[in-house]
A and B are shown apart, each in its own frame.
Chain A
């Protein structure tokens, strides 16, 4: 049995082995090894410049590793990038929707990119907007929606092709506290349906919402576990305290 087939059948969504990326003499990601279970909400934490974005780019097939490898939804990130793109969804920090297209047009665009049929697109558009309570805004320009609605819509659009794994890069930045929590309920609902969620955030209370978290410092994963395990280990009340203790020793980020 190949490693890929093995990891897919083991209920492992992401499996990284010594994943490394260098830029010249700078080691942005330094031999990281971890796995993410299928259906898990996995928080990928780290200070600015710790190497999170570089690691995510490799996992979604946008950047080749210098060394090591990873399997994402059973596909090898070095050789099966097209397979990976079909089985993941991605929502970036600020924006993944087109502001000058309507809600319906955005969904149709992304559905089309992922090869859904017109019938599938129509059915999923209706279901998505019913769930979000956005049915009345289907012909509004996305640019005219309040930020919180945009973020919730962008998340749903990232799931339009029913991916096995969704990558969320700071999805709640700048959003009000109620909408942030509604967003996390959408994340929980997706995970309950079996979607694996890989999420980055600077809000440490959100780190507490994850099943497991990893903390990256200077390109390395220095800690990985459930929020409760890490708080117990460092004898602190919050993940924020764990994070600050580990990330304060960082040296690379600011020089980058």
Chain B
């Protein structure tokens, strides 16, 4: 079996809101696969379909070669799922939560310990503490341990790093890298574009639709417009001036720069950069620097978002 997950033309609506609109993609066995998109994109609905908690209106899916509707019990015992909201028992202790999840799956902590050891070791000093009294980072580690205790073949993580600081996010991704090298297939959703780069492949998802599926590096590389980085003081004024440039297509804040794209698709980026610099100098931004750059995944995401028809969910 080469694909751990296959999704074919899956759609799901809630009343007038189309949460998933004809979604198709596949996740290969052993892959660390990212579903990257903002809140409301449809990520949670998709996870709930794959974990047998929700039935699609149309289309089909297969999880570890099984059908989420017919084979739900088999899937549940072979998949680990960490939902986006904290779903452990707040008034059970750390070790009681873990024992509970092990018991539900007919196993013991000892049998699954090898897999969870690097994560659970950090929790052991707090093993008697009630789950509700843990810090955010520790709750996340306990939830991950509980999702792994029955040694699943596929791990599904719904926004594990939302609201988590930059340091803990890096550490969490380091853990995922370790789990992947143990042979586990992992599907993880995130609203953070920078985390896409830690995945083998990603699907960009917005408004219930997949915008793109590829290697994270390739998605940036496919950006076809001339893209210029602009640096200068008084960034808000700079941004407003830049939008006045006649062939400006989009101007976005981007870290300590602005990213400018041009309507003239086939023009030379170096020449555009020079023109933009001249224009800015003539309009009170003598210190502005411009340089052609290669697009990243976030540039691509915004371009795909902007050019896609308005998602129906947003119009509801």
CA distance A8 to B11 in the complex (A): 57
In the complex formed, the residue of A with least CB distance to B313 is A146
List residues 296-316 of chain B with CB under 8 A from any CB of chain A.
Answer: 298, 301-302, 305-306, 313-314, 316
The list of the 9 closest CB pairs from A to B, nearest first, reads A176-B38, A174-B39, A188-B236, A47-B165, A208-B255, A208-B256, A247-B167, A205-B255, A146-B314
CA distance A56 to B38 in the complex (A): 27
Segment at the interface with B among A58-66, A68-76, A120-128, A237-245: A237-245
Residues in B whose Cβ lies below 8 Å from that of A256: 135
A89 within 8 A of B: no
Interface contacts beyond A48-B135, A209-B253: sample of 14 additional A-B pairs, CB < 8 Å, sorted by A:
A46-B165, A48-B136, A48-B168, A49-B136, A173-B163, A174-B191, A178-B302, A205-B254, A205-B255, A208-B255, A227-B256, A244-B167, A244-B170, A254-B135
Residues in A whose Cβ lies below 8 Å from that of B104: none
List residues 171-210 of chain A with CB under 8 A from any CB of chain B.
Answer: 173-179, 181, 184-185, 188-189, 191-192, 202-205, 208-209
Asked whether A243 lies within 8 Å of B40 as measured between CB atoms, the reply is: no
List residues 125-151 of chain A with CB under 8 A from any CB of chain B.
Answer: 144, 146-148
B265 within 8 A of A: no
List residues 158-208 of chain B with CB under 8 A from any CB of chain A.
Answer: 159, 162-170, 191-194, 206
A118 within 8 A of B: no
Shortest Cβ distance from residue A165 to the other chain B in the assembled complex, whole angstroms: 18
Among B39, B40, B206, B253, which residue has its beta carbon within 8 angstroms of that of A185? B253
Asked whether A177 lies within 8 Å of B298 as measured between CB atoms, the reply is: yes
CA distance A49 to B139 in the complex (A): 13
A105 within 8 A of B: no
The bracket for how many chain B residues form the interface is: 35 or more
The bracket for how many chain A residues form the interface is: 35 or more
Among A146, A148, A178, A253, which residue has its beta carbon within 8 angstroms of that of B137? A253
Shortest Cβ distance from residue B254 to the other chain A in the assembled complex, whole angstroms: 7
Residues in A whose Cβ lies below 8 Å from that of B313: 146
Q: A185-B239, A240-B166, A248-B167 are in contact. Are A177 and B40 (CB under 8 A)?
A: no
In the complex formed, the residue of B with least CB distance to A192 is B236
Asked whether A178 lies within 8 Å of B170 as measured between CB atoms, the reply is: no
A170 within 8 A of B: yes
Among A176, A179, A243, which residue has its beta carbon within 8 angstroms of that of B166? A243
A228 within 8 A of B: yes
Residues in A whose Cβ lies below 8 Å from that of B316: 144
CA distance A204 to B164 in the complex (A): 12
Asked whether A177 lies within 8 Å of B302 as measured between CB atoms, the reply is: yes
Residues in B whose Cβ lies below 8 Å from that of A205: 254-255
Most buried by A among B136, B165, B191, B305: B165
CA distance A240 to B169 in the complex (A): 12
Chain A 87-115 interface 0/1 with B at a Cβ cutoff of 8 Å (1 = within): 00000010000000000000000000000
Shortest Cβ distance from residue B86 to the other chain A in the assembled complex, whole angstroms: 14
Asked whether B206 lies within 8 Å of A254 as measured between CB atoms, the reply is: no
B138 within 8 A of A: yes
CA distance A181 to B243 in the complex (A): 14
B76 within 8 A of A: no
Asked whether B38 lies within 8 Å of A174 as measured between CB atoms, the reply is: yes
CA distance A46 to B164 in the complex (A): 11
CA distance A173 to B192 in the complex (A): 9
Asked whether B305 lies within 8 Å of A178 as measured between CB atoms, the reply is: yes
Q: A185-B236, A188-B235 are in contact. Are A49 and B256 (CB under 8 A)?
A: no
B37 within 8 A of A: yes
